[in-house]
Structure 1
């Protein structure tokens, strides 16, 4: 098989969560363990950082990878899903995996695929481990796909575990209470390995404390140790001053990830850096500052309040659940504009009503859908939105919707494309 044939095989032969949802979710680690055994357990050949959370885990992963590679460490980065190119999921020092490696790995593991019948995600996790071992990385930042305890990535013993936050998402798989969701995320906590929780919440704090105590893992709540003393959003950059609790001294950072919600991720990242420094990783302040100012070019991160057009401004954001949409709306309120146009599509298994409740009635809406079976049909989304006073038209695909928004918008208007990773990933730049 060539590369295109290999991708077709992976996308069609294996159950894929992004396409079909819960039916592709495997509720144990058996397949991943067997796959890793088949390829010689490469996950034990390099150091790792493991990152889970409802929102912000992708940005946090990319920021940490940027810092580590800027410091001179050969750094792997595994994230999901991809926006436009399958190879985005696997990077070493920002460079995507080679097509030849994807082809060769798939050929080598095909006998195990026939015997084990793994999911698409399980295969990609094994591929990431094999690739990072082959490349000889010093450390790899590994983002969970869904949850933590039963996530396919949860076969590593990392240097550090990071849980960004807990919110409402994937309740059909993770549980119907924040405590239940927190317990699933806490599954990445390993005996004796330090764990950082980005955001403290009364409903979930005890869950993390109990699991960390049971596993004798040092626990740090990042937002109890540092705070954002001041910030400014200017020229599509975020200028932030961070201080430690109980200290007046402020440290400045410039982020090329301009969404205000990145201030929360920044506090989490800085505590992660501190804990890595305690372990002997050489991460000086000047390196951290330089890395955070060039996360996008160094790691290839896209879709986080990303400007793709001016006059009118067109922003892409992959926020897709209740908390994520709340953050997008907060960012919109900080943005100087005349009228708001929202291009939006969602998937069926999200809490659509809770997302719609966040949206402003005075905006013009362009309802669309992604080309995947999980996508909520645009007419159904429009009908649910109309019940909340949100008015607009329907479009068969996101690029048609965006073209209509650009036609209707004045130069001082703001167009935001959001609601699903798969919507943002279909935008033709």
Structure 2
């Protein structure tokens, strides 16, 4: 086995990893992250950043912002999680993944400290990303939180701007069982005097952000009060939007290559963020912003957001995996033309599957499957729960077997949708 594969295997096997074991990998403070960063000369103090949190949309928004900075000529770091195919997708500069040699060398360098600090997989990855960005002297790094915000390992930076996309129920066992508690955790990324953009105004939790921002003297912007969608056209490859810029009383036409309808909310947050950053002196020209949003996939390498991998039958992958994410996918389905819908679906155990399953259409054919990781929900158990919600289908022991069955049954005019978990989508790729 080569050194890179060995290193990644070591990281997966030796460090507690949330995607594999769940809540036990989540650390309740920033102590480990700060201790690790101290061992590598506090790299987080040596580059400028933007911090992005939220339940859904934070990944897409991070990629959009990275695309904008790249298009404007800035050397742009991007830290996101989880990855789909290769660990290095988490850490990129100008769309290119961190070299295998850096992953190997960094892990070796920090090895002696791993035993006494005992970091989680995520904590170590954050330290690795920050070290890489500092070493490569990026102009800016877009940093996506992992879980929550207040106690997230990434929350050691003082960014140029904080962006919070939306708040819905996810990881309730860790972040709290009310929207207000979850919003309080996400609001933890708001820093003294640093502007914050909230992509979506949610009446029941608006006060949480306003109070936190006021306490920190942080200027706050609600993006959907600065922009209004005047018209949209959805195809399987693009989302064309006409947006009203309420502040400047101007119309903007934007064609997004991230084509899920749910990107409407994200793009407003990104446009407000870009404007605040322009006002802070970043050279982000409007034509560069619009051009970047048309080429996000090419610029940043983002995948798995309403991604069309085949036309006949239309086959779409989407990493949406919680209640709000699945709602958005179902909304998007209403814009698609097909004869019969086939859904390949699998979940992880700590999702509230009983709340998500009733959102799925009873008219689709289902292929229940289990991704290859310890946290995956058993396919037979999923099929049983789905039957209670009136969903009919068969269980398959693997994602590949489920997809193969869907392809065998689907006619050219049908549609196959793969969703429920990052890990299910990754195995299709």
- Structure 2's unaligned 5+ residue stretches are none
- How far the C-alpha of 1:67 sits from its partner, in A, is 0.4
Q: Aligned residue for 2:361?
A: 360
Residues 223-232 or 25-34, more deviating = 223-232
Aligned to 1:114: 115
Whether 1:31 and 2:23 are equivalent positions in the alignment is no
Counterpart mapping for 1:328-407 below 5 A: 328-407=329-408
TM-score (norm 2): 0.99
Structure 1 residue 88: Cα displacement: 0.2
Please give the alpha-carbon distance, in whole angstroms, between the structure 1 residues aligned to 2:321 and 2:36: 31
**TM-score, structure 1 length as denominator?**
0.99
Partner of 1:88: 89
The residue that corresponds to 2:294 in the other structure is 293
Report what 1:188 is aligned to: 189
Number of matched pairs: 428
For the residues of structure 2 that align with 1:409 and 1:235, how far apart are their CA atoms?
Answer: 18
Q: How does 1:165-176 map to 2 (within 5 A)?
A: 165-176=166-177
- Deviation of 1:112 after TM superposition, in Å, equals 1.0
Counterpart for residue 275 of structure 2: 274
Distance 1:411 1:399 in 2: 20
In structure 1, the residue matched to 2:79 is 78
Q: 1:246 to 1:26 in 2, by over 3 A?
A: closer
Task: Please say if residues 236 and 308 of structure 2, whose CA atoms lie closer than 8 Å, have aligned partners that are also in contact.
Answer: no
Change (3 A) 1:258 1:129: same
Tell me the equivalent position of 2:217: 216
Deviation at 1:235, TM superposition (A): 5.0
How do residues 49-88 of structure 1 correspond to structure 2 at under 5 angstroms?
Answer: 49-88=50-89
- What secondary structure does 2:138 align onto? coil
CA distance 1:268–1:416, shift in 2 (3 Å): same
For 2:154 and 2:281, the matched residues in 1 are separated by 25
Offset from partner CA, 1:116-167 (integer Å, 9 cap, x none) = 0000000000000000011110000000000000000000000000000100
Where structure 1 has 5 or more consecutive residues not aligned to the other structure, the ranges are none
Q: Distance in 2 between matches of 1:368 and 1:321?
A: 17
Indicate yes or no: 2:135 matched with 1:131. Answer: no
Deviations 1:193-238 (A, max 9, x none): 0001111112110100111111110011111111111110135111
Q: What residue in structure 2 maps to residue 3 of structure 1?
A: 4
Distance of 1:114 and 1:43 partners within structure 2: 22
